Amino acid sequence: MMLRRATRLLRSPRAFSSVTPRGEAARIAHIDDAIRLMRAHAVARYDESVDVAIRLNVDVKRSDERVRGSALLPHGTGKTTRIAVFARGVLADEAREAGAEVVGAEELVDEVLKGRLDFERCLATPDVLPALAKAARMLGPKGLMPNPKRGSVTTDIGEAVRRAKGGEVEFRAQKQGIVHASVGRAHFAADKLRDNALVFISSVLALRPQRFRGKPPTSVILGSTNGPGVKLDHRMW
């Protein structure tokens, strides 16, 4: 679903159709203009999500060009994230105190194997990884499998839970090099949306291979759930 949403944003032909002056339909927007235009189209009866989709100039078929990581948005996403933590003993208690909704070790692995996937993020402590490996076929395809390289396997589990609750978003380049994430909600103040979007974009670009540093991405699109995508001036990056 996220990939379809990102692709729709990147292909949207209506970005300036009803809110820009005549003759400016092809103009590439500064981020402040993009936020203003996005809000003009965010007219649903619910609080729409604000998303950023980046098409990177990388080849995801090459293992050394796969981009994956996380970004801590300074103002959060405006969404409550349900977190599962695989931990035992004191660290399990620490996870609960930090706000994790689902906590367990082998018994939680068994529940996942039976189909329990009622959470959006997974964290784990290193000692539980051998038991958790059995659930990799369930968690991996959904991007939920904890990974030490991404910081989702840690002994500082309380801080990891607080970061996830406080606005940390995970991302990875998918087909055609597209990276996509929510950076807030339509009701957020413009400066908060700008801060979140810039942190997300910078975090994604910083994880490209060294040879891509200093080169702009192919495109950057900002849009709301039901609105058209607004193309940012990708040369800024």
| Per-residue pLDDT tens over the stretch 24-48 | 333 568 999 999 999 888 888 889 9
- The CATH number of 83-165, from 3.30.70.3400, 3.40.50.150, 3.40.50.2300, 3.40.50.790, is 3.40.50.790
Mean pLDDT of 179-190: 94
The beta strand positions in 110-151, using DSSP E, are 121-124
Q: How far apart are CA 168 and CA 77, in angstroms?
A: 8
Answer yes or no: are the C-beta atoms of 50 and 184 closer than 8 Å.
yes
Categorize the per-residue pLDDT at 1 as very low, low, confident or very high, splitting at 50, 70 and 90: very low
- Percentage of the chain beyond pLDDT 70 is 88
Q: Rounded mean pLDDT of 199-212? A: 92
Tens digit of pLDDT for each residue in 46-83? Answer: 899 999 999 998 888 888 888 988 899 999 999 888 99
Over residues 92-149, the pLDDT tens digits come to: 999 999 999 999 999 999 999 999 999 999 999 999 999 999 999 999 998 899 988 8
Report CA torsion sign: 27, 31, 36, 41. positive
Select the more confidently predicted residue: 8 or 66. Answer: 66
CATH numeric code, 2-76+168-236: 3.30.190.20
Q: Tell me the domain boundaries of the chain.
A: 2-76+168-236, 83-165
Residue 192 confidence class, pLDDT cut points 50, 70, 90: very high
Question: Average pLDDT in the 157-186 region?
Answer: 92
pLDDT on residue 24: 32
Least trusted range by pLDDT, from 9-13, 135-139, 157-161: 9-13
Q: Roughly what angle, to the nearest 10 degrees, separates helices 190-206 and 31-41?
A: 120
**3-state percent breakdown (helix, strand, coil) of the chain, nearest 5:** 40, 20, 40
Convert 66-88 to b/e letters by CB count within 10 Å (16 or more is b): bbbbbbebebbbbeebebbbbbe
> What pTM did the predictor assign?
0.77
Predicted local confidence at residue 155, as pLDDT: 95
CA–CA distance, 3 with 175 (Å, rounded to integer)? 8
Looking at residue 68, its amino acid is: R
